[in-house]
């Protein structure tokens, strides 16, 4: 007869081995995917030293970087994403906003809590279609025509860091921030190497990422910011940055097309991107980047 303690230890070791093996194959798959994307799509890459290990940062191209035939193929995919967004019922008009109501008092905490509850109720019925739409967007490996900010652009823009400091946003090894300049409600969606997606309904990922600033559920600011950060070591693999236009707050004289800025910080190096999105448009795949171990040989 097998001793129960021995049997329990054997089962525990066996399950631990399966977990470690699964982790190994997932990390290997992420590395191979990163290298494949580098070979096919990369427009730029650089190597840096982080905690004694070489890190390869791969930045993916925008649609304007592609040959004309591939640009047309991207536009066809974008058109399908727009139809998918519409067919899934993700375009919705909010009845609580009265057009032109600019003299309305500033939203109170009760108003904010009411809107949070309304968003929770909306997610109860729309989370599955939003997940489906996000999965379609995640298949894209090309940015949606966003331009990289220049030094001149940065001189005329409000510093994202100032907004993060105002809202208590954290910084870390990998950090992605979204800023825009009106009362609309844009949402930052970050697709992680683990397959998770960080956004307002999933603010903490198993791989360590946190959405610590989420703004304009109610139209409280015309200089909002959102922020996803890894305070510890961020996993290797490909990250994709999406922006979704959740709500058009009409009573603040906001327009249906909203300009935005994305800042991507990786191990102390920063890049900023400028873009725009129209209410009712599919979630935009703004940019993607990959972190790989530069010393790894597949």
- Residues with Cβ within 8 Å of residue 15, at least 6 apart in sequence: none
Report pLDDT for 181: 93
Q: What is the DSSP letter of 62?
A: B
pLDDT for residue 298: 41
User: Taking Cα atoms as reference points, which of 251, 243, 255, 176 lies closest to residue 218?
Assistant: 251
DSSP annotation string for 90-153 = -----TTPPTT-TTSPPP-HHHHHHHHHHHHHHHHHHHHHHHHHHHHHHT--SB-S-EEPPHHH
Phi and psi, residue 268, nearest 5°: 90, -10
pLDDT at 297: 45
Q: Smallest Cα–Cα separation from 253: which of 277, 214, 219?
A: 219
**Structure token pair of residue 180:** 């825009």
Coil, strand, or helix at residue 192? coil
Q: Is residue 266 within 8 Å of residue 57, measured between CB atoms?
A: yes
How many angstroms separate the Cα of 131 from the Cα of each of 55, 56, 127, 140?
A: 31, 30, 6, 15
Tell me the whole-structure pTM to 2 decimals: 0.78
Intervals of the chain under pLDDT 50: 37-38, 41, 43-44, 47, 49, 54, 95-96, 100, 156, 296-298
Query: Looking at residue 125, what is its pLDDT?
Result: 86
pLDDT 10s digits, 234-290: 998 889 999 999 988 876 678 999 999 999 998 878 888 899 999 999 999 998 888
Structural contact between residues 186 and 194, judged by C-beta atoms closer than 8 angstroms: no
d(CA 12, CA 33): 32
Contacts of 133 (CB under 8 A, 6+ apart): 81, 84, 85, 88, 90, 282, 283
C-alpha distances in angstroms, 122 versus 24, 25, 90, 139, 201?
38, 37, 10, 25, 11
Query: Which of 247, 281, 257 lies closest to 80 in space, CA to CA?
Result: 281
Domain definitions of the chain by residue range: 58-94+109-293
Interior angle at CA 74, CA 70 and CA 76, nearest 5: 115
pLDDT tens digits for 67-90? 999 999 999 999 999 999 999 999
Cα–Cα distance measured from residue 240 to residue 269, given in angstroms and rounded to the nearest whole number? 17
pLDDT reported for residue 66: 86
């Amino acid at each position: 007869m097998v001793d129960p303690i021995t049997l329990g230890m054997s089962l525990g070791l066996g399950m631990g081995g399966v977990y470690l093996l699964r982790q190994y194959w997932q990390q290997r798959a992420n590395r191979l995917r990163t290298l494949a994307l580098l070979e096919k799509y990369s427009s730029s890459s650089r190597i840096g030293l982080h905690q004694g290990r070489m890190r390869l940062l791969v930045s993916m191209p925008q649609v304007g970087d592609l040959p004309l035939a591939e640009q047309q193929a991207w536009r066809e995919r974008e058109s399908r994403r727009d139809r998918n967004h519409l067919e899934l019922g993700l375009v919705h008009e909010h009845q609580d906003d009265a057009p032109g109501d600019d003299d309305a008092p500033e939203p109170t905490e009760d108003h904010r809590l009411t809107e949070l509850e309304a968003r929770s109720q909306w997610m109860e019925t729309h989370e599955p279609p939003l997940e489906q739409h996000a999965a379609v967007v995640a298949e894209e490996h090309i940015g949606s025509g966003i331009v990289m900010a220049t030094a001149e652009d940065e001189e005329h823009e409000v510093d994202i860091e100032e907004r993060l400091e105002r809202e208590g946003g954290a910084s870390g090894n990998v950090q992605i921030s979204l800023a825009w300049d009106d009362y609309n409600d844009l949402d930052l969606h970050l697709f992680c190497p683990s397959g998770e997606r960080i956004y307002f309904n999933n603010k903490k990922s198993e791989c360590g990422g946190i959405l610590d600033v989420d703004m304009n559920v109610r139209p409280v600011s015309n200089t909002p910011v959102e922020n996803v950060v890894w305070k510890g070591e961020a996993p290797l693999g490909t990250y994709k940055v999406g922006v979704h236009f959740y709500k058009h707050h009409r009573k603040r004289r906001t327009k249906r097309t909203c300009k935005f800025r994305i800042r991507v910080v990786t191990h102390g190096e920063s890049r900023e991107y400028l873009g725009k999105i129209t209410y009712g448009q599919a979630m935009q795949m703004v940019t993607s980047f990959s972190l790989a171990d530069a010393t790894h040989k597949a």
